[in-house]
Amino acid sequence: MSLFNHGGCTGAGGAGAEGMFCRVINVQIKDEMYFRATEYHLGLLKAKLAKYRAQLLEPSKSSAAKGEGFDVMKSGDARVALIGFPSVGKSTFLSLMTSTASEAASYEFTTLTCIPGVIEYKGANIQLLDLPGIIEGAAQGKGRGRQVIAVARTADVVIMMLDATKGEVQRALLEKELESVGIRLNKSKPNIYFKPKKGGGISFNSTVTLTQCSEKLVQLILHEYKIFNAEVLFREDCSPDEFIDVIVGNRVYMPCLYVYNKIDQISMEEVDRLARRPHSVVISCGMKLNLDYLLEKLWEYLALTCIYTKKRGQRPDFTDAIILRKGASVEHVCHRIHRSLASQFKYALVWGTSTKYSPQRVGLTHMMEHEDVIQIVKK
Ligand SMILES: Nc1nc2c(ncn2[C@@H]2O[C@H](COP(=O)(O)OP(=O)(O)OP(=O)(O)O)[C@@H](O)[C@H]2O)c(=O)[nH]1
Ligand SMILES: [K+]
Ligand SMILES: [Mg+2]
């Protein structure tokens, strides 16, 4: 028996962008019919666990002393962290791709700190960080796990390097380690609007049919976090875990490439199977195989924005792109060209996908898109 109320878009703050076409389904279903007691238990248990794990994210006092060499300055246009078990070939890879040499050897834990190198690709400087190997229990502080994971959180993309000869267990273990400290790999932020309030209780709405969460469960989870007044709008059929992620808030959503190294040691069939896995690339550092393809993929996962500048009456300079992270504004472009340019800025003309017309006159806050052309007009 379904008791869906098909209503219009209620005035949930920030939900206005959904437009008038959105169909808000107030899920006032008899919750228990869909979610048995176990679901509540699990939901609550997960909320408790997430709270406990949040403590792991807080820097431990002793780690400052042990963490020497890990606070490498961010430099270049993007940062990529190499995460993997010991001796999978992380340092061999860094030494191959950059002009930095990082010691590689057949024994485990050869690398003991963070070694930065730079990959130059398509005019961008990509900072590549070689890190000590991590093992199961890293998040709890085994080995240098904590420091390694802290560095991983600061990256734009993680390369999870795996030994192709070692089977799938390493991948699952590392995913679990990163998950447990709030790193979400190849996932986008759950599309849930959540706003704690001063009063008014909990208002719950959804624009889609929910199959994994219910109003009751959402309330229980919120109570677990001592939140009794909030506005919640599910715009996606999210799981309780995803909802908890939204409440906890300090999650990082990061693209990850699974790189299977040492394919010189495995059968053709196995190479074929690994290469077809999602988000995966197979390579051999030893034989220098497939490294070009890995770079192409890495570039795709970094999803950097290339902007071309143009002087008045001249053609755009396509040989020298300004490389920015996604979500960069005209102001970011100005800062990149010259420190004082933003203060002299009058307006800009932009050609490309970020504008309705080409060219379009825009201000400093206009968001740039990949391969836009810009001409800046000074006061
Ligand atoms: N057969 C084969 N061996 C490789 C390949 N890449 C690296 N190795 C070897 O694997 C061993 C470990 O390499 P490292 O680069 O030290 O591995 P790591 O991941 O940096 O290791 P830790 O720093 O100890 O975590 C070395 O003996 C390398 O020569 C490869 O593609 N094929
Ligand atoms: K090693
Ligand atoms: Mg190493």
pLDDT at residue 9, rounded to an integer: 38
Q: How many angstroms separate the CA atoms of 202 and 119, rounded?
A: 49
Residues 233 and 310 in one domain: no
Q: Which of 308, 303, 305, 306 is nearest to 348 (CA)?
A: 308
> Looking at the 3D structure of the chain, how many domains does it have?
3
Mean pLDDT of 176-201: 94
Give per-residue pLDDT as tens, 218-241. Answer: 999 999 999 999 999 999 999 999
Quickly tell me which residue has 């001063």 as its tokens: 198
Residues 359 and 312 in one domain: yes
Residues 129 and 275 in one domain: yes
Residues 69 and 128 in one domain: yes
- Is 6 within a domain? no
* CATH number where 150 lies: 3.40.50.300
Mean pLDDT of 197-221: 94
| Mutation test residue for ligand 1: of 90, 92, 107, the one with most atoms within 8 Å of CB | 92
Residues 30 and 129 in one domain: no
Residues 263 and 367 in one domain: no
Ordered strands of the 202-206 beta sheet: 192-196, 230-234, 202-206
- Is 162 within a domain? yes
- Is 273 within a domain? yes
pLDDT at residue 168, rounded to an integer: 87
Atom of ligand 1 nearest to the CA of 109: 24
Give per-residue pLDDT as tens, 304-346. Answer: 999 999 999 999 988 889 999 888 999 999 999 998 999 999 9
Determine the angle formed by the axes of helices 240-248 and 37-57, rounding to 10 degrees. 30
The boundaries of the domain holding residue 265 are: 63-187+252-301
Residues 266 and 338 in one domain: no
Interface ipTM > 0.95: yes
Task: Name residues contacting ligand 1 (CB within 6 A).
Answer: 84, 86-92, 104-106, 108-111, 132-133, 261-262, 264-265, 284-286
Q: How many angstroms separate the CA atoms of 364 and 226, rounded?
A: 41
Mean pLDDT of 194-212: 95
- Is 95 within a domain? yes
Model confidence at 347: pLDDT above 90: yes
Residues 265 and 309 in one domain: no
- Is 82 within a domain? yes
Show the tokens assigned to 242: 């995803």
Show the tokens assigned to 76: 């270049």
User: Using an 8 Å Cβ cutoff, are 82 and 128 in contact?
Assistant: yes
Residues 86 and 211 in one domain: no
Ligand nearest to C-alpha 109: 1
Mean pLDDT of 67-73: 78
Model confidence at 375: pLDDT above 60: yes
- Is 194 within a domain? yes
pTM attached to this predicted model = 0.79
Q: How many beta carbons lie within 10 A of that of residue 167, not counting itself? A: 10
DSSP letter at 368? P
Residues 164 and 88 in one domain: yes
- Type of residue numbered 119: I
Q: How many beta carbons lie within 10 A of that of residue 296, not counting itself? A: 13
Model confidence at 211: pLDDT above 60: yes
- What's the gap in Å between 97 CA and the centre of ligand 1? 14
Residues 150 and 280 in one domain: yes
Q: DSSP characters for 112-178? A: -S-EEEEEEETTEEEEEEE-----TTGGGTSTTHHHHHHHHHT-SEEEEEEEGGG-SHHHHHHHHHH
User: Cis before residue 116, ω within 30 degrees of 0?
Assistant: no
- Is 144 within a domain? yes
pLDDT at residue 36, rounded to an integer: 61
Give per-residue pLDDT as tens, 354-368. Answer: 999 999 999 999 999
User: Using an 8 Å Cβ cutoff, are 177 and 144 in contact?
Assistant: no
**Average pLDDT of the residues of the chain:** 86
Mean pLDDT of 142-158: 90
Give per-residue pLDDT as tens, 87-143. Answer: 999 999 999 999 999 999 999 999 999 999 999 998 899 999 999 999 888 877 777
Q: Which residues pair with 127 in a beta bridge?
A: 79, 118
- Is 4 within a domain? no
User: Using an 8 Å Cβ cutoff, are 27 and 204 in contact?
Assistant: yes
